[in-house]
Amino acid sequence: MTQASGPLAAYRVLDLTDARGILCGKILADLGADVVRVEPPAGNPARREGPFAGEAPDAERSLHWWAYAENCRSLVADLGTLEGVARVRDLARRADFLLESFSPGYLDGLGLGWEALHRDHPRLILTSISPFGHTGPYRDWKGPDLIVQAMSGMMFHLGDGDRPPVRIGVPQAYLQAAGQAAVGTLVAHHWREQTGEGQWVEVSAQVAMMWAMMSETGLPSLHGYVPFRDGVHARYAGFRRRIIFACADGYVALIASGGAIGAGAMEALTAWMDEEGTAPAFMRERDWRAWDSAHLLASGERGQAELDEVEAA
């Protein structure tokens, strides 16, 4: 799909986010929107995130920036000056969406908050990404990835039970937040198409990370089971599954799962093991598409034994 043919091809996005919201603009750009990133004079902080082409730090050679800025345009506006603020306000009047990830209240202080923008342009959709939302007791708290992961409850499940919690190995909080921001923005766009009204979409990274835990938040109430840190294992679909395996040059994360979701991966793994002469007969002969969670649950205790056997192989 090209930008010209995407469902958002007729719309312009003014993106004021830093690295915390950069995925949101990327998603909208991939859907065809004309995304214009507004950068400070020193450039978007995401330009200084590695890895870098040539392995030398350079704001113009950040692979991170290249990946997330694909299909986007850029311009410079200094919000520390009256001229910069006026330029952004003028651009907002001609945009369909505005994305931002400043601290709550910052844009209000510049005259670029929701009320001012909505008054200027009632159809505009404003999407705000922040650590803990624009209301509530944590509104003004700083929230780097580690803090947001901890405050969401996600870290309660990660690590060994007899040690302190750990965070997910790569930053996740603001990728989750930006992804949810894109979804919220599209929902607001659907509403605008029906009513002609713009909306303010507020996204809390803490809540986005809670949502990423999916069913785990409901397990205590629904099943009386409280998930716990279990090292390299995880409880998934009723079974204890190993998810981290040691390799010759490090570790790999893998869930042994068949059915529609995992059969392809298990077939490829079995084929590779067979080439190396390490695939046991039961793996070569197994119908991985039939070996799904329903099969394991129906097998009772034997289901866990089958899982253990595959993981040991």
pLDDT at 209: 94
Whether 165 and 292 map to the same domain: the answer is: no
In a domain, 217, yes or no: no
Whether 44 and 12 map to the same domain: the answer is: yes
Whether 254 and 109 map to the same domain: the answer is: no
Query: What span, in angstroms and rounded, lies between the C-alpha atoms of 76 and 116?
Result: 22
Q: Using alpha carbons, list the distances in angstroms from residue 43 to 36, 61, 227, 236, 272.
A: 14, 13, 43, 43, 45
pLDDT at 1: 52
pLDDT at 161: 86
Whether 239 and 205 map to the same domain: the answer is: no
Determine contact, residues 45/201, Cβ cutoff 8 Å: no
Quote the mean pLDDT of the chain. 91
- The per-residue pLDDT for range 42-61, each reduced to its tens digit, is 999 999 989 999 989 998 99
Whether 194 and 124 map to the same domain: the answer is: yes
Identify the domain boundary among 211, 245, 269.
211
pLDDT classification of 256: cutoffs 50, 70, 90: confident
Number of domains making up the chain:
2
* Residue 158 pLDDT exceeds 90: no
pLDDT at 3: 60
Q: What is the mean pLDDT of residues 103-113?
A: 97
pLDDT classification of 237: cutoffs 50, 70, 90: low
- Peptide linkage before 51 cis (omega within 30 of 0): yes
Q: Using alpha carbons, list the distances in angstroms from residue 178 to 9, 284, 305.
A: 20, 42, 40
Q: Which neighbouring-strand residues pair with 12?
A: 34
Range of the domain at 200: 3-211
Length of the chain equals 313
231 against 32, higher pLDDT: 32
pLDDT at 130: 98
HEC secondary structure over the chain: CCHHHCCCCCCEEEECCCCCCHHHHHHHHHCCCEEEEEECCCCCHHHHCCCEHHHCCCCCCEHHHHHHCCCEEEEECCCCCHHHHHHHHHHHHCCCEEEECCCCCHHHHCCCCHHHHHHHCCCCEEEEEECCCCCCCCCCCCCCHHHHHHHHCHHHHCCCCCCCCCCCCCCCHHHHHHHHHHHHHHHHHHHHHHHCCCCEEEEEHHHHHHHHCHHHHHHHHHHCCCCCCCCCEEEECCEEEECEEEECCEEEECCCCCHHHHHHHHHHHHHHHHHCCCCCHHHHHCCCCCCCHHHHHHCCHHHHHHHHHHHHC
Identify the domain boundary among 180, 211, 242.
211
In a domain, 219, yes or no: no
> Please, which contacts does 135-142 make with residues 24 or more away whose CB atoms are closer than 8 Å?
138/206, 139/104, 140/103, 140/104, 140/105
pLDDT at 275: 95
Q: Which neighbouring-strand residues pair with 252?
A: 245
In a domain, 285, yes or no: yes
222 against 151, higher pLDDT: 151
Its pTM surpasses 0.75: yes
Structure tokens at 98: 């505005």
pLDDT classification of 177: cutoffs 50, 70, 90: very high
